[in-house]
Structure 1
Amino acid sequence: MSELSWKTLSSTYIHKGPWATLRSDKCEMPDGTIVDDYYVLEYPNWANAVALTEDNKILMVRQYRHAANIVSLEIPGGVIENGENPEEGMRRELLEETGYQFNDVELISTVYANPSTANNKTFCYLAKGGKKVQDQQLDEHERIIVEEYTIPEVKQLLADNKIAQALHCTGLFYALMKLGEL
């Protein structure tokens, strides 16, 4: 690694759940300093997409987010299931949440939500040429409204701070750069 990396001496699990796991690591810093309790949240990896339809509209989803107590405007995506690669997870989530399939998909960013406390990555794709092929197939606790926006409308939503999910803002900025819109 590098001269900045810590060595994990031991790990103890405090909570293991389906969506989040909390562990406490005992670590040694490069200078020998011991960190007795460094808490790490383990989450599954996530995949999402800036999804453009055949007529160049960006699909966005609106849903309630309980931890923040907000109705959030987001790009579609979710947890990568066991056995899926990130692209498969993203394609499945797009189909379930929006009913759209895409013929042109490209990975545009891999980011960490908060690498100081959480270990998971988010893979963001640019998906183009979307066609509606089915109705939504939502999970038991999902209530999602699909909306379509033009690229100028999405740029204005970002400028007006109307998209609260930081990872989704990041993906949108990467996509807009890739599309030559920034």
Structure 2
Amino acid sequence: MSKLEEKTLHSEEIFTGKVISLHLQDVELPNGKQSKREIIKHPGAVAILAITDDNKIVMVEQYRKALERTIVEIPAGKLEKGEEPALCARRELEEETGYECETLELLTSFYTSPGFADEIVHVFLAKGLTKKENAAALDEDEFVNLEELTLKDAIQYIKEQKIYDAKTAYAVQYLQLQEAIGQK
């Protein structure tokens, strides 16, 4: 046990929603004192950095209610219970963009907000894209516009805050790094 670890004394689930649940925990701190923690439980998600044969980044524009605005993002979606991240990535890529991919490589996984949530996002690189004739449909509550951007355009979108989320900024920075070290 780490000397920084907080011991859970009591945990109560105070909200269960369609995607997340909220737990209120009483914890014992490393110094022996007690405190409370509000923890969001999330099933995890995938994000797909999909690159076309002409080196465009496939993105979707969608309205994000929590932000009260639209932003441009790499395709992404929530893991279903027991679903393998790679299978979810292929499903989400097809649903959101109509593309299927020849190759899919896990780039990294990261926690989005570890101060209060356990959501982990698995970021995949998809190449060898082809448009599928009868692609899976979007979820009934999901509406997106498809965009294909050059790396230069994506960097400009970050400056303009059209791209404004961590997973997409990570993907763009990954491509910048690959370009800087001469790998594509």
TM-score (norm 2): 0.90
Residues 109-155 of structure 1 show CA distances to partners (whole Å, capped at 9, x for unaligned) of 21111100111101111111211113451111111111111222222
Which contiguous aligned blocks of 4+ residues in structure 1 show a shift greater than 6 angstroms? none
CA drift at 1:173: 1.6
Residues 40-70 of structure 1 show CA distances to partners (whole Å, capped at 9, x for unaligned) of 1111201001100122211010111111110
CA distance in 1, matches of 2:159, 2:71: 16
Equivalent residue number for residue 55 of structure 1:
54
Equivalent residue number for residue 4 of structure 1:
4
Equivalent residue number for residue 44 of structure 1:
43
Report the secondary structure of 2:179's partner residue: coil
Within-5 A mapping of 1:75-94: 75-94=74-93
Check the 8 A contact 1:50/1:175 in 2, yes or no: no
Report the secondary structure of 2:48's partner residue: strand
Equivalent residue number for residue 33 of structure 1:
33
Report the secondary structure of 2:106's partner residue: strand
Is 1:172 aligned with 2:161?
no
- The 3 A distance-change label for structure 1 pair 107 and 175 is farther
CA distance in 1, matches of 2:87, 2:110: 18
CA distance in 2, matches of 1:11, 1:171: 36
Report the secondary structure of 1:94's partner residue: helix
Structure 2, unaligned runs of 5 or more: none
Equivalent residue number for residue 112 of structure 2:
113
Question: What is the CA RMSD across the aligned residues, in angstroms?
Answer: 1.6
One-letter amino acid of the counterpart of residue 16, structure 1 = T
Check the 8 A contact 1:54/1:131 in 2, yes or no: no
One-letter amino acid of the counterpart of residue 8, structure 1 = T
TM-score (norm 1): 0.91
